[in-house]
Amino acid sequence: MFSGYIDFLREIGLEIEIFGRDAIVVKTLPVILSQIQAREIISDIADQLGEQNQMPSLQEKKEKILASLACHAAIKANSVLSSDEVAALCRDLEENTF
């Protein structure tokens, strides 16, 4: 399932290695996802890939995976942020035009 996506996942900072018939080893995770358990991320990507058999293009599949990872990285309601995290968010907001 993952073999066709190893290069793509590496491009976005998620390095995996297929280990046996039904196991993988997670070598690296994107920094933004470091607070999330690798098992949860891999399980979600596997779900996305399993559901995408009817999607015609590789680009659509990649976009679904990226959207899923973005949801994991998003700050959720009622999350407690440190003062450094709040400052970083404010800097990011100042750099973007709406």
The pTM of this model reads: 0.60
pLDDT confidence of residue 82: 83
Going by C-alpha positions, the residue among 12, 8, 13 that lies closest to residue 61 is 8
Q: Integer distance in angstroms from the first to the last C-alpha of the chain?
A: 39
Residue with tokens 């890939």: 49
Q: Residue 29 sits in a domain of what CATH number?
A: 3.30.1370.100
Q: Helices marked H in the chain — which ranges?
A: 6-11, 38-51, 58-73, 83-95
Q: What is the total count of domains within the chain? A: 1
Question: d(Cα 73, Cα 62) in Å, to the nearest integer?
Answer: 17
pLDDT confidence of residue 58: 72
Paired with 17 in beta bridges are 25
Give the domain extent around 19. Answer: 3-95
What confidence category does residue 53 fall into, taking pLDDT thresholds of 50, 70 and 90? Answer: low
Reply yes or no on whether the pLDDT at 19 is more than 80. yes
Average pLDDT, the chain: 79
Reply yes or no on whether the pLDDT at 33 is more than 70. yes
What confidence tens digit (pLDDT) does each residue in 54-96 have? 656 777 777 878 887 777 767 666 778 788 878 887 887 888 7
